[in-house]
Structure 1
Amino acid sequence: MDVIFSPDHALHASPGELNSGEFVPAFEKPERADIILRRAQEVGLGPVRAPLSFPPDHLTRIHDPRMVELLRNGAAEWKAAGRKGGAFPFTFFTRGFRADRVPETLEGRLAWFCFDAGTPLTETSWQAIESSAHVALTGAKAISEGARSMFALCRPPGHHAGSDHYGGYCFLNNAAIAAQYLLDQGAKRVAILDVDYHHGNGTQQIFYHRDDVLLVNIHATPDQEYPYLLGFADEPGAGPGEGYNLNLPLPWGTEWAAWSAALDAGCQRIAQYAPDVLLVSLGVDTYRNDPISQFKLDHEHFTRMGARIAALGLPTLFVMEGGYAVAEIGVNAVNVLTGFDGG
């Protein structure tokens, strides 16, 4: 399995995040990707390839161009205004506010497009954000050309980013951008399996009204866990997309038996859909020692997860998402991939 990786990921290094009433060091940090890459090389997962470059319209096929422009230039505007640190919003769009116009000021645009205080823009963030999307697109291109499996080692992650909003450490939705690319290249049906601990709210919002992408999310119930406001079982999709969104929320403390039962249910739905290609939003924050998560999976369970996904027999693109037990992230992420490959 080839690995797509860009060292440009390190150009996004968050100055910190607001968490539980304190400004703390960011859990999403550059070491995550470097440790995964090192582990992939240690086990001989496959060749490491640099991403190709793609035109910007691949990004705006999914995302509002005004949000993309903010991500590209917001940090420079922040600095030009004499501000230090990362560009954070200090108010947020919510119920009762107008949704039909984007404010002109930087503060207003940050409030309109960003939904949390953990996803700041720095002067060099855009190069990392764009390269992460190109990593996913490069993997998708290889799959469209006949590769059986690819690993897009994306950072920053993407599954919390919607068509016109970003947050949860995610700026652009790498998996959604890759899925749209595959459809544009001739795939008729694409399935996305999101195994991250947190619900992929952005991916759901993007495809909720569509029937050419089936989305299956296995995640902590939003009754208890971030992002709280989406990811319930009674969200099946709408309009043409009704029946093409499957949420499998699970409570805090979930262990492998219950989690793997949800995986079986999700894989059965994917098999029924019979997609041309599968994308896996690969978060390994379901690990028992993850500092911001409450599931109880262990190292060997990630290997079994990969084997179960492989049993679908589909061309598969893995797109890296979350996982914040940094010392163990390499073992856990690569165990999924070697499990998929039969190792």
Structure 2
Amino acid sequence: MKAFSDPAQELHSPRFFLMRGRLHPNYEVPARAASLAAGLARAGIAPQRPAPAPRAALEAVHSAAFLDFLRDAPAQWAALPDAGAEMVANIHPAPEMLAQGGFAGSHPVAQLGQFTADTACPIGPGTWQAALGAAACALAAAGEAAAGRSAYALCRPPGHHAYAARAGGHCYLNNAAIAAEALRRAGAARVAVLDIDSHHGNGTQGIFWERGDVMTISVHADPDRYYPWYVGRGGETGAGAGGGCNLNLPLPFGTGDAGWLDSIAIGLAEIREYGADALVLSLGFDASKDEPLAALNVTEDGFARAGAAIAAAKLPTAIIQEGGYNVDLLGTLLARFLDGWGD
């Protein structure tokens, strides 16, 4: 199996995030990528550097205005008096504002509120280049899948919480959605996205909500108690042409290997029924029992068994790295998953 990594990921090094009214050191740090690279080495895989991500591939998923914001806003922010080192919104437009004709205007503070969903996606001077590198890895993995093979993309920052025009939850560009759209444009009639991160893939769901050519399935912890809080429940099934093409499989807190693997099996059965030509796997390791913000209780063996089960679907697969924040264990979990995958 080929793997892809881009050194630009080192340029994004967020300092903090806000949780329950307290500032915490940000868990989405460059050391995550180093740990994952060590896991690839354990699996005997030397990652390649991908070709740069073309703007057109990004605009196939994200709005041009959002992409321009991510690229240009840090310099505008730095020019403000008393600006912090990172862009973090102090206001988001309320539905009432928008219903009354509200709009963001050109000021970076207003733009920041419009283009971010929460305080867990600080934007620094290196965020854009890092996000571009992650998207490039996703596109390279999708290229392998389009050729009938499977590949792993070491994407950092992750992407599955990013909407078409809004960052959130450590995510800026939706790498899984970019890969899925690339597969469609390469000729796959139907693509499935299977998200096994412990957080619901809300951005991916949102991007494909009205699409019948991409099925989105997410196995995650109960959003009544866990990010992203507002979506991720079983009644969300898509709309319009995408009606019936979204499946959420929320799990009670503390669910271990058996329940998690059973839900993955349900998702794989739906993918077979859907008749997908290719698969995008949003691979998060934050379902681990050893996560700093653990909600599920999956073991190393559970990840190995998940790798074997998903590989058994025999679909060309772009494996897109999402979450997982125990930097001491990430490499081990990736190596175990790839051992289970078997090639």
Class of the TM-score when normalised by the shorter of the 2 chains = over 0.9
Asked whether 1:209 is paired with 2:210, we answer yes
2:133 to 131, 134, 143: 131
Which residue matches 1:118? Answer: 120
Contact 2:208 2:214 in 1 (8 A): yes
The alignment covers a number of residue pairs equal to: 340
Q: 1 CA distance for matches of 2:167 and 2:300?
A: 31
Computed over aligned residues only, the root mean square deviation of the Cα atoms, in angstroms, reads 1.2
Query: Aligned AA for 1:336?
Result: F
Q: 2 CA distance for matches of 1:141 and 1:170?
A: 22
Which residue matches 1:237? Answer: 238
Query: Aligned AA for 1:88?
Result: V
Which residue matches 1:73? Answer: 72
Q: 2 CA distance for matches of 1:103 and 1:253?
A: 44
Gaps of 5+ in 1: none
Which residue matches 1:29? Answer: 29
Runs of 4+ in 1 over 3 A off after TM superposition: 99-102
Query: Aligned AA for 1:105?
Result: H
Contact 2:192 2:216 in 1 (8 A): yes
> CA-to-partner distance for each residue in 1:145-184, whole Å, 9 max, x for gaps?
33x2100000000000001111100000001011111111
Secondary structure of residue in 2 paired with 1:98: helix
Which residue matches 1:308? Answer: 309
Contact 1:17 1:26 in 2 (8 A): yes
Q: 1 CA distance for matches of 2:42 and 2:308?
A: 20
Contact 1:15 1:85 in 2 (8 A): no
Which residue matches 1:326? Answer: 327
Describe how 1:40-189 pairs up with structure 2 within 5 A. Answer: 40-44=40-44, 46-82=45-81, 83-98=83-98, 101-146=103-148, 148-189=149-190
Gaps of 5+ in 2: none
Q: 2 CA distance for matches of 1:228 and 1:172?
A: 20
Secondary structure of residue in 1 paired with 2:219: strand
Shift of 1:87: 0.7
Q: 1 CA distance for matches of 2:105 and 2:26?
A: 28
TM-score for the superposition, normalised by structure 2 = 0.96
Which residue matches 1:224? Answer: 225
Q: 2 CA distance for matches of 1:135 and 1:79?
A: 29
Shift of 1:313: 0.8
Q: 1 CA distance for matches of 2:84 and 2:220?
A: 36
TM-score for the superposition, normalised by structure 1 = 0.96
Contact 1:51 1:134 in 2 (8 A): yes
Q: 1 CA distance for matches of 2:119 and 2:53?
A: 30
Shift of 1:93: 2.7
Q: 2 CA distance for matches of 1:112 and 1:247?
A: 27
> CA-to-partner distance for each residue in 1:243-301, whole Å, 9 max, x for gaps?
10000001111111111111111110011112111010000100001011211111111
Q: 2 CA distance for matches of 1:210 and 1:2?
A: 30
> CA-to-partner distance for each residue in 1:13-45, whole Å, 9 max, x for gaps?
00211122122210111111111111211231x
Secondary structure of residue in 2 paired with 1:49: coil
Asked whether 1:261 is paired with 2:262, we answer yes
Contact 2:40 2:46 in 1 (8 A): no
Contact 1:93 1:115 in 2 (8 A): no
Q: 2 CA distance for matches of 1:131 and 1:310?
A: 26
Secondary structure of residue in 1 paired with 2:248: strand
Describe how 1:6-17 pairs up with structure 2 within 5 A. Answer: 6-17=6-17
Contact 2:289 2:297 in 1 (8 A): yes
Contact 1:286 1:295 in 2 (8 A): yes
Q: 2 CA distance for matches of 1:89 and 1:206?
A: 23
Q: 2 CA distance for matches of 1:18 and 1:262?
A: 31
